[in-house]
């Protein structure tokens, strides 16, 4: 049981890192959103999203993750970031 608790603490630490990285990503996206507003550029950039998702899917396969599930996660991350740009 002690081993499980140790592993759960490690998961908590990893989750904290993921949340911190999401916060950083959102902050960068807010800056990009502001630059887009100032330059009259639309928030939606389908080609950029596709390039990003293609890269993420490929990297997922390379490191042994289910690329479809990772892609689903990134769809949500992209949606979050588009939301903060509006």
Q: What is the CATH number of the domain that holds 63?
A: 1.20.59.10
Q: Which two tokens stand for residue 17?
A: 């890192």
Token pair belonging to 36: 């887009």
Determine the pLDDT at residue 24. 98
Angle at which helices 46-62 and 67-85 pack, to 10 degrees? 150
Please give the tally of structural domains in the chain: 1
Q: Which residue matches tokens 């890192």?
A: 17
* Domain, as residue range, for 15: 2-85
Joined together, the tokens standing for residue 37 give: 């507003």
User: What pLDDT is attached to residue 68?
Assistant: 98
pTM, to two decimals? 0.89
Give the mean model confidence (pLDDT) for residues 6-15. 98
Look at residue 1 in the predicted model and tell me its pLDDT.
87
34 pLDDT band, cuts 50/70/90, is very high
Question: To the nearest whole number, what is the mean pLDDT of the chain?
Answer: 97
Work out the average pLDDT over 38-63. Answer: 96
Q: Which residues contact 17 (CB under 8 A, 6 or more apart)?
A: none
Which H/E stretch holds residue 49?
A: helix 46-62
């Amino acid at each position: 049981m002690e081993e499980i608790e140790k592993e759960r603490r490690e998961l908590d630490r990893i989750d904290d890192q993921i949340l911190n990285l999401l916060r950083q990503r959102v902050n960068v996206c807010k800056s990009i959103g502001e630059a887009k507003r100032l330059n009259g550029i639309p928030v939606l950039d389908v080609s950029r999203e596709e390039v990003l998702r293609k890269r993420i899917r490929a990297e997922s396969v390379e490191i042994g993750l289910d690329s479809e599930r990772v892609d689903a996660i990134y769809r949500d991350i992209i949606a979050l970031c588009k939301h903060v740009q509006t």
